[in-house]
Chains A and B, each alone.
Chain A
Amino acid sequence: DAMVIQNPRYQVTQFGKPVTLSCSQTLNHNVMYWYQQKSSQAPKLLFHYYDKDFNNEADTPDNFQSRRPNTSFCFLDIRSPGLGDAAMYLCATSRERTGSPLNTEAFFGQGTRLTVV
């Protein structure tokens, strides 16, 4: 059974038109991450949540926002997508930092590939 689910798998949006990507998890993990991965590059951390505590990366553009209404769901909002925002967006979850080290790995969804036209 899928544990981290991202919808949709493929998203096409128009230049400048707001778009929302969604992620849900059945693992009850405290931490949720959003990564941006451009072609042939490493996943780049945009932000992460520890419960409702939001942690933005310093170089994440203001164009990217996130919401986490409850433990299970997390959304990535791109307010005005540009051509440079076309990428694979990966959601991941993990247990909290103070938990057992045996549970430190992150579990990833299948990703949403965003195309901007």
Chain B
Amino acid sequence: AQSVTQLDSQVPVFEEAPVELRCNYSSSVSVYLFWYVQYPNQGLQLLLKYLSGSTLVKGINGFEAEFNKSQTSFHLRKPSVHISDTAEYFCAVRRVNTDKLIFGTGTRLQVFP
């Protein structure tokens, strides 16, 4: 079975600073990887996804993530954060040719002025 680990439950950062949110996964087979963002009392919105090909994927709101197969990681980055990026971020994995989507425990990004 696949699993997802987000090591940082909270990441505080000042506005305009860079940020990296870490995600590691485990699976014995090929997977698709996703990052979702959740604002308070809202559903989840897709930021970006890795399916295959280029290991660097770009998403919405200036976020990008890099797939590293050898380290089984899919870390999310943004070079300069805004106050509006304050939210909960979830990494998720879905095995290829299955329907099951599993989430990590989430990382709360808090951006301070």
Is the beta-carbon distance between B43 and A108 smaller than 8 angstroms?
yes
B22 to chain A: closest CB distance in Å? 15
The answer on a CB contact under 8 Å between A104 and B97 is no
Q: Within the assembled complex, what's the spacing in Å between the Cα atoms of A58 and B49?
A: 27
The stretch that binds B, out of A12-20, A63-71, A74-82, A94-102, is A94-102
Q: Is the CB of B41 within 8 A of A111?
A: yes
Q: Are B43 and A105 in contact (CB under 8 A)?
A: no
Query: Is B99 within 8 A of A50, CB to CB?
Result: yes
Known contacts: A43-B90, A45-B102. The answer to whether A98 contacts B97 by CB under 8 A is yes
Q: CB-CB < 8 A to A43: which residues of B?
A: 44, 90, 103
- The reply to whether the CB of B105 lies closer than 8 angstroms to some CB of chain A is yes
A41–B101 Cα gap in the complex (Å)?
Answer: 16
Are B43's CB and A48's CB within 8 A? no
Note all chain B residues with C-beta closer than 8 A to A97.
97-99
Q: Are B105 and A101 in contact, CB atoms less than 8 angstroms apart?
A: no
Interface flags for B86-113 (1: CB within 8 Å of A; 0: not) read 0000101010111111111110100000
- B101: contacting residue among A33, A40, A88, A96, CB under 8 A: A33
Q: Is the CB of A104 within 8 A of B32?
A: yes
Known: A35-B103, A92-B44, A105-B49. 7 other contacts (CB 8 A): A41-B105, A44-B103, A104-B49, A106-B34, A106-B46, A108-B43, A108-B44
